[in-house]
Structures are given as structure tokens and as C-alpha cells.
Structure 1
Amino acid sequence: MTMQSSPYISFPGNASEAFPYYRDLFGGRLDLMTYDAMPSMEGFPFTPPPGSVAHATLEAPGITLTGGDNMGEDLPQLASEVYSFLLAFDSTEDAHTFIAKVADGGGEIAMPFEPAPWGDHYGQVRDRFGIRWDVMVDGSTG
């Protein structure tokens, strides 16, 4: 069986801001389609706000993110302690650079990046959209 995994994030109306941010953060190629660009909305069970993202895919080295804008009222916030995305870096320098870039871009450090009891380096940073990124470097390579 062949399989690939890609997180799909349903943004609360700000996917058009989030995906360019993630492209700047990770690099790669971004494909973004708004509902406005779709040939026909006939038969859709909702009327999306102008500029809403129907689907976006960011393909960058080591990560693929997909998502779009969620529709409806009282949409859940993205910030949560029940999920995160784990990023494994080759060096502590690369990990520190990533964490600083997220924090400097309006995010916050949720757990300092430092040696962990199990031997790796580990920390957490939450970006300005509420997504928590767990950052690690294997202790044998760090």
C-alpha cells in the first residue's frame, strides 16, 4: 500500500493570508484557488464570502500543507492543545532559525527549545494563526 499524508487546515476566513505566510516560512510552490475563480457555484449548499479560499496546496521541501476557508458561523479557533505539527530538523541551528522566524512573525514560543530528557532537542512555537509547531532535532545528530 502506498500512502501520503498532508494536513488539511480549515481556516476561519483567513486562508488567503495564512498560505502566503506559510510559503514565506517554508518556501516551495503555492497553488491557491478562491471560490471567485471557480467556473460555477451553482448547486453549492452555501455562498462563500468574496475572496474565500476553496483550496490551497503548499508543496515545500519536507512538508505539504493543504487547506481552505471554513464556512459558517461560530467557527472554531485554530489554537488548541489537542494537536500540533512535528517538524524534525537536521540541526539545532536550523531549528532555532525556524523558531525565531515564527516568533518574530507574530507567533510565540510555547516551550523553549532545549535538550529534552529523552536525548533530543525539543521545543514548541505557535504561529500567529494559532497553529502549534513542535520542533525537534535528533539528539544523535543535533
Structure 2
Amino acid sequence: MAHSLATYIALPGTTAEAMEHWHEVFGGELQIMRYGDAPPMEGMPFEPDPNAVAHATLTTPAGVIAGGDAMEDGNDYNVRGSAYSLLYTTDTPDEARGYIDKLLAGGGEIGMPFEQAPWGGWYGQAYDRFGVMWAFSCE
């Protein structure tokens, strides 16, 4: 089997909605498995909600995003303002702007305007409605 590397995100109960939104924005192939769809797992340290996402993958032309619903208690699960973001490199500025526009239309907001960067390329950031920061870059 060839090695691969995917981004994995645990969201606070919104993984299915986020993955479906990202599928609309970026295209690709989406697979979602909920705990209720999985065979019984002996020795599980918790009883998961059968509707919670156990594992999801979105295979896009640019790479793979995987994730699942976080099993955290409470509402203090921090997505926005955490140390991670997703960097999406495109061939043209217009392509990046198109993805940013789709994220904004889906309830997101600009984090940093997409414009020419000091190093000569293009760069900008948008937060989607789930609080995930998407950074966009192109030459």
C-alpha cells in the first residue's frame, strides 16, 4: 500500500454538515459512516450517539480531508482560533476566489482578503460557517 497523508478534523457534532458543505464547495467524492452504521465495537470506552459521525472522508482533486464528530462533553470545543488551518493551493487567483466565494455564500467570512502577497504570489483566508480557517494560495 502506498503511503498517504490526509488532514483529519474532529468537529463538535457538525462533521456531516461540514463535509457535505465542503463537498459542494470543492467537489470530489464524499463518504460518511455514522456509529449506527458501524458493526458493534467491543471495548469502546464510551457509548457513542448512533447518529454521530464515526468517520468521514472527502477525496477532492487536491487531496483528502477526513474527520469525525468529537466526543467531547460540553459546548467549549474550540474550532475557530485553534492552531490549525487548511491550505488550499490553486492554479489561478480566480479559482481561489471562486472557492472563497462559495465558502462566504455558505455562511463564512473573510479572515484576510485574498490579494497579491509580498512574496509575489496570492494569499488570503476565509473562515467557513463551522469556524474552520481555509487559507488559499497561488503563484
TM-score (normalised: structure 2):
0.92
> Which segments of 5 or more consecutive residues in structure 1 lack a partner in the other structure?
none
Contact 2:37-2:50 within 8 A present in 1 as well: no
Matched, 1:13 2:9: no
Quick one: distance in 2 between partners of 1:107 and 1:85? Answer: 14
Quick one: distance in 2 between partners of 1:52 and 1:81? Answer: 22
Q: Which residue of 2 aligns with 1:108?
A: 109
Q: Which residue of 2 aligns with 1:96?
A: 97
Quick one: distance in 2 between partners of 1:67 and 1:15? Answer: 7
Matched, 1:130 2:131: yes
- 1:72, distance to aligned residue in structure 2 (A): 2.7
Q: Which residue of 2 aligns with 1:71?
A: 71
Quick one: distance in 2 between partners of 1:116 and 1:17? Answer: 32
> Which segments of 5 or more consecutive residues in structure 2 lack a partner in the other structure?
none
Q: Which residue of 2 aligns with 1:57?
A: 57
Amino acid at match of 2:71: M
Identity within the alignment, %: 43
Say if 1:116 and 1:103 are closer, same or farther in 2 by CA, change over 3 A.
same
Question: What RMSD in Å do the two structures reach over aligned CA positions?
Answer: 1.4
Superposed CA offset, 1:106-133 (max 9, x none): 0000011111111011110011111111
